[in-house]
Amino acid sequence: MAFMRDMEMSKFNSHKVPTSQGLRESYKSEKESIRTKIWKAMEDLGISRFPRPVFGRIPNFVGSERAAERLVRQPEFRDAETVKVNPDSPQAMVRRLALLNGKTLVVPAPRLKRGFMLLDPKKIPSRFYAKASTIKGAFKYGEIRPLDKLPKVDLVVTGSVAVSIDGVRIGKGGGYSELEYAILRELSLIDEETPIFTTVHDVQVVEWAPLEPYDLVVDAIITPSRVIRVEKVHSRPIGVLWEKVSEDMIRAMPILSELRALKSEGRGPFA
């Protein structure tokens, strides 16, 4: 039955979402074009899930549970003690399976307004793992941790709108996943070798995507039907690009002020 389900999902592999490597006005417009094509393809094919419509979101997709099951069979997941997972709906099963497998979860609050939450499976009754894997449940069963009290992260799992076969990830355009990564990188809680995985539908895998200095490049793309290992050809951002951080961003995300204070005071990894 599992084989038949995978065969059923594989029919979407041939649905190509075209991208252009020709002359382009800007990376921003190119990324937005890819996002729009992906969102439209998912709605047209009937593979999007609640919350809908998927436009403007990290899209939830049919088969997200199977993708999560493939992810937890990977050696990087088995070896990890702490896993950082984005808070979006398509990665809910990843978060649940992480708790079921005894992994400590680091989950960013939406839009980083309240920083990072820590979920310790030893402190949560197992019957509440499903609830704890939701955003509302994460706030109830997890705890907001100051930056200097976060643990080292062994594996990063992120959602995507699209991802290229060479690992370049496109998010929904807010830059939050990139900022989360940059903050943890500045804290030395992750480094260049920390694996980054994404779970997506096969339709979300594209031939090419533009790469900017702050973009994430993943090591593995995991879909309901396959695992695509990426040969590392791109470097990753080494920290926050402070020249791109506005005062409005700092007001909206106090965690940036917290990070700046740690740096200026020489606390945490900056000691």
pLDDT in tens, 37-52: 999 999 999 999 999 9
d(CA 219, CA 235): 11
pLDDT, position 271: 59
Q: 97 pLDDT exceeds 50?
A: yes
Q: At what angle do helices 2-10 and 64-72 cross, to 10 degrees?
A: 120
User: Taking the model in full, what pTM does it have?
Assistant: 0.89
Strands 104-108, 205-206: pairing is: unpaired
d(CA 92, CA 97): 9
pLDDT, position 109: 94
d(CA 160, CA 228): 15
Q: 204 pLDDT exceeds 70?
A: yes
Q: Which of 117-121, 147-151, 243-247 has the lowest mean pLDDT?
A: 243-247
Q: 3 pLDDT exceeds 60?
A: no
When pLDDT is averaged across residues 219-237 and rounded to a whole number, the result is 92
| Sign of the torsion formed by the C-alpha atoms of 251, 254, 255 and 259 | positive
pLDDT, position 12: 42
d(CA 20, CA 15): 16
Per-residue confidence band for 15, with pLDDT thresholds at 50, 70 and 90: very low
Q: Which residue carries 């729009």 as its tokens?
A: 36
Helix%, strand%, coil% for the chain, nearest 5: 45, 15, 40
Fold of 63-271: Rossmann fold (3.40.50)
Q: Please report, for the chain, the start and end positions of each structural domain, with discontinuous segments joined by +.
A: 63-271
Across the chain, mean pLDDT equals 90
